[in-house]
């Protein structure tokens, strides 16, 4: 079986790591890095830590407006798919790289498989929501991380080719968790008890009122806050005159690699984030999460009482972090860490059946 796997952002590296390991045991995989989110140092760190193979193709698309970026990816990916003639094009998540890979595959003879299918925030203002919906409706095989995602697909009329293998990010986290000490490196020194914060979504960083409200909430927390800051967020903080106010009360550190970040999540009393992936990682590591968004695609973690949606509201941030000190019992939502094996088995059966 020949597979072209498309990745372009760090969360996709994490997802692809688990599946790639399984695929390469018996199959021919070509990893394509679109370059959508590309920092040479951090990209190399993620690939090294996750034992991901070097990409067979690096498209080097980089940042651009959504339509331009997606079109450039599609043009390059079309050539890759034509040259490789894969049995399967495998896409992950909900980025522009996901959509570009999906559209190219859907117009080829390859099977389009979507890992992390069926998630919905129901917020059409988020580019990710558009990407994941379009990808799901184009896909031949849809791998839902949990039963809720499968039910969402059913409500949209998608019933064929759907399976629930679990979440591949959990596979990767379990694989790397035992190696945290050796992979952690120069992890930032942190207090015994702290809140871990991350902010990177354009809806928060590009809106001075929302960003100021988040800064207000973080600076009012009772526990120390550790904040690995995305470069775009740092620029926004400076542009809006919020940098000194934040750094006077919050420990801002440089972005860290995957293993170091997982160590920070596991050691925190609570995570405050606008990241989709971090919401899940916190859940897996038994760390309550406060989500700095109005909606989330990971609704099951909210229903379970381990994730509180507070938006960009300072008072709600403070109250939610305080309440997170006493989380409820945690249910099993996204499988037991063997999602990648199930995905590869399904791909094999589909290709064998023609």
Instruction: Summarize pLDDT for 242-260 with one digit per residue, the tens.
Output: 999 999 999 999 988 888 8
Query: What distance in Å separates the CA atoms of residue 88 and residue 114, rounded to the nearest whole number?
Result: 10
Contact status, residue 192 vs residue 173, Cβ threshold 8 Å:
no
Q: Enumerate the domain spans of the chain.
A: 2-167+336-352, 188-323
Instruction: Summarize pLDDT for 114-167 with one digit per residue, the tens.
Output: 999 999 999 998 899 999 999 999 999 999 999 999 999 999 999 999 999 999
Phi then psi for residue 235, to 5 deg, are -60, -45
Q: For residue 42, what pLDDT is reported?
A: 57
Q: In the predicted model, is pLDDT for residue 232 greater than 70? A: yes
Instruction: Summarize pLDDT for 298-307 with one digit per residue, the tens.
Output: 999 999 999 9
Q: For residue 183, what pLDDT is reported?
A: 55
Q: How many residues does the chain have?
A: 354
Q: Write the CB contacts of 305 (distance below 8 Å, at least 6 apart in sequence).
A: 327, 328
Candidates 228, 229, 337, 341; CA nearest to 284 is 337
Q: In the predicted model, is pLDDT for residue 9 greater than 90? A: no
Query: What distance in Å separates the CA atoms of residue 208 and residue 229, rounded to the nearest whole number?
Result: 16
- The residues annotated as belonging to the active site are 200
- Given this chain, do its domains 2-167+336-352 and 188-323 carry the same CATH topology? yes
First-residue to last-residue Cα distance in the chain:
11
Query: What distance in Å separates the CA atoms of residue 91 and residue 97, rounded to the nearest whole number?
Result: 8
Q: In the predicted model, is pLDDT for residue 55 greater than 70? A: yes
CATH 3.40.50.2000 fits 188-323, yes or no: yes
The three-state secondary structure class of 216 is helix
Q: For residue 337, what pLDDT is reported?
A: 92
Query: What distance in Å separates the CA atoms of residue 317 and residue 300, rounded to the nearest whole number?
Result: 20
Q: Return the CATH fold of 2-167+336-352.
A: Rossmann fold (3.40.50)
The three-state secondary structure class of 294 is coil
Task: Give me the DSSP letters along 239-289.
Answer: HTT-HHHHHTTSEEE----HHHHHHHHHH-SEEEE--HHHHHHHHHTT--E
Angle at 118 between CA 351 and CA 154, to 5 degrees: 85
- pTM confidence score: 0.89
Q: In the predicted model, is pLDDT for residue 184 greater than 60? A: no
Other C-beta atoms lying within 10 Å of the C-beta of residue 48:
13
Query: What distance in Å separates the CA atoms of residue 34 and residue 260, rounded to the nearest whole number?
Result: 25
Query: What distance in Å separates the CA atoms of residue 146 and residue 166, rounded to the nearest whole number?
Result: 6
Query: What distance in Å separates the CA atoms of residue 168 and residue 343, rounded to the nearest whole number?
Result: 9
């Amino acid at each position: 079986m020949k597979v072209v796997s498309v990745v372009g952002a760090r969360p996709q590296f994490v997802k692809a790591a688990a599946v790639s390991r399984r695929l390469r045991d018996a199959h021919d995989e070509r990893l394509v890095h679109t370059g959508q989110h590309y920092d040479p140092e951090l990209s190399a760190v993620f690939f090294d830590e996750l034992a991901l193979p070097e990409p067979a193709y690096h498209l080097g698309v980089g940042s651009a407006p959504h339509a331009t970026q997606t079109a450039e990816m599609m043009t390059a990916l079309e050539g890759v798919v034509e040259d490789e003639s894969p049995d399967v094009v495998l896409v992950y998540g909900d980025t522009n790289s996901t959509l570009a890979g999906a559209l190219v595959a859907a117009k080829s003879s390859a099977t389009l498989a979507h890992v992390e299918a069926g998630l919905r925030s129901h917020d059409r203002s988020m580019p990710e929501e558009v990407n994941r919906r379009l990808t799901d409706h184009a896909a031949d095989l849809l791998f839902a991380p949990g039963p809720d995602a499968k039910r969402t697909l059913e409500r949209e009329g998608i019933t064929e080719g759907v399976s629930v293998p679990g979440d591949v990010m959990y596979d990767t986290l379990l694989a790397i968790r035992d190696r945290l000490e050796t992979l952690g490196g120069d992890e930032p020194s942190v207090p015994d008890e702290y809140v871990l914060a991350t902010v990177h979504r354009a809806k928060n960083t590009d809106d001075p009122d929302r960003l100021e409200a988040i800064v207000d909430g973080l600076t009012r927390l009772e526990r120390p806050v550790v904040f690995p800051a995305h470069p775009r967020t740092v620029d926004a903080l400076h542009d809006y005159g919020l940098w000194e106010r934040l750094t006077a009360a919050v420990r801002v550190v440089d972005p860290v690699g995957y293993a170091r970040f997982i160590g920070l999540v596991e050691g925190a009393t609570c995570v405050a984030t606008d990241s989709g992936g971090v919401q899940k990682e916190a859940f897996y590591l038994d760390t309550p999460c406060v989500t700095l968004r109005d909606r989330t695609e990971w609704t099951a973690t909210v229903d379970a009482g381990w994730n509180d949606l507070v938006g960009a509201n300072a008072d709600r941030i403070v109250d939610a972090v305080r309440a997170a000190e006493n989380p409820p019992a945690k249910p099993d939502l996204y499988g037991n860490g063997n999602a990648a094996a199930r995905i590869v088995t399904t791909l094999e059966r589909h290709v064998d059946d023609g």
